[in-house]
Amino acid sequence: MSLAMWVATLNIVLGVVYTSYGLMTIVDLKRDWRFRGISHFGLAWIAMAFTCGPHHLDHGLQFATVGGNAGPLDLLAVVIGLPAGVTWFLLRVEALRGGRGDRFISGTPWWLKALVWLSVLYAAVLVASVATVLRHPVHFTPRLTPNVLLLGLYFLIGYYLLRTQLTNRTTLGGWSVSGVALTFVFPTCGVMHAMYMVYASTERYAIEWHCLLIDWLAVPAAIYFVWVVRNLSLGVSTDWNEGATGARLQVAVG
């Protein structure tokens, strides 16, 4: 299979997975909104899933149908994001079917420590590769703006997730598989946008209007999401983070 087909296939799989996050969240909202009220967190998450997923679908379908000069960095980015994204997806499916939806890893096993070093190595390889690509003439246009913004926003969400995982490790003495998977999803999404931007600025990829529109829609979605998280963390507003008992009490009497 050619590089373009690999990029296409993996992007389509990721696109389906991320779009499924949005669908699962809609199911969640539909099921519980009468008990808990509307969730801004859920809406923001749906908005993100329905922009991130279609971005990958569009990108994948573009290569699958039109073909093109696929970049190896694009493949590298997708390959890393895929296991994390699929893991979280499978855990959520398990939870929806009444299963545990998470696994707890006691302590920090060797393979998790190795994962950190692999991530550092991955980042180094990526930076070196990007530097090589950017030796070609770079044409920076306003069309690349959403990719830069999404890179920053997804890394910010990844930072919030990582911070929570590190705190949990200290207090619980281990790691949540669901949390670790989710922590990897967002920065790798950011990396995917970065790679797309690198290839677009060197004119290896042509920026299609549909993908550009999706990316621009993803910007306010991600801002909305971070804003909601910040509000909830500061206690300025409450959402579905209110205790389940309290939320159900309201229904029982009202």
Partner 1 sequence: MNHVPDERHQVFLKSRTPARTAWVHESRPVTRPMSNWSSDSIAVRAVASVRVVVAVAIGLIGSFLPNLGAREDAFFLIVGFVWIPFATVVLFASVRPNRRVALIGGPVGDILVLLGAQCLLPGASRVVLILYVVVVAFGVYTAGKHFATLLGAVAIACTALSQGLIPRSARLGAAELLFFSLALLAILLLLARSATLQDRVNARAERLQTKSDTILTHVASAVFVTDAESKILECNPAAERIVELPANAVVGNFCGDVVGLHLGERALDCSGGCAILKEFSESEAILGCELWRTRADGKRQPLLADATTVASASGQLEVVHSLRDVTRLKEAEEAKTMFLATASHELKTPLTVITGFAETLIRFDDIDRDTRLAALDAIRSRTRELTQIVDRLLMSSRIGAGAIQVTCTEMDVVPIISDRFATFAAGTHRAVTFMPPTEPVLAFANRDALITVIDHLIDNAAKYSASDQTISIEVASRDGRAHIVVVDQGIGMDEEQAAHCFKQFWQAESNDARRFGGTGIGLYIVHSLVEAMGGQIEVRSRKGHGSAFTVTLRRVDVDDAPAPSAGEESSIREFMRQIGVPERSRA
Chain residues 139-168 in contact with partner 1, contact rule CB under 8 A? 140-143, 145-146, 148-149, 152-153, 157, 160-161, 163-165, 167
Binding residue (CB under 8 A) for partner 1 from 134, 172, 208, 210 = 172
In angstroms and rounded to an integer, the radius of gyration of the C-alpha atoms of the chain is: 19
Q: What is the C-alpha to C-alpha distance for residues 234 and 23, in angstroms, rounded to an integer?
A: 28
Residue 37 makes contact with partner 1 by CB under 8 A: no
**Which segments of 40-109 does DSSP mark as H helices, in order?**
40-61, 72-96
Residue 38 makes contact with partner 1 by CB under 8 A: no
Tell me which stretch binds partner 1 (CB under 8 A): 26-34, 69-77, 125-133, 191-199. 26-34
Nearer to partner 1, 82 or 95 (CB): 95
Shortest distance, CB of residue 53 to partner 1, whole angstroms? Answer: 14
* SS3 state of residue 175: strand
Shortest distance, CB of residue 1 to partner 1, whole angstroms? Answer: 33
Residue 87 makes contact with partner 1 by CB under 8 A: no
Burial bucket for residue 103 (CB in 10 Å: 0-12, 13-18, 19+)? middle
Q: What is the C-alpha to C-alpha distance for residues 28 and 43, in angstroms, rounded to an integer?
A: 11
Shortest distance, CB of residue 9 to partner 1, whole angstroms? Answer: 26
Q: Where in 47-86 is the site for partner 1 (CB under 8 A)?
A: none
Residue 108 makes contact with partner 1 by CB under 8 A: no
Residue 179 makes contact with partner 1 by CB under 8 A: yes
CA dihedral 147, 148, 150, 156 (to 10 degrees): 160
Q: What is the C-alpha to C-alpha distance for residues 221 and 217, in angstroms, rounded to an integer?
A: 7
Q: What is the C-alpha to C-alpha distance for residues 104 and 227, in angstroms, rounded to an integer?
A: 29
Shortest distance, CB of residue 111 to partner 1, whole angstroms? Answer: 19
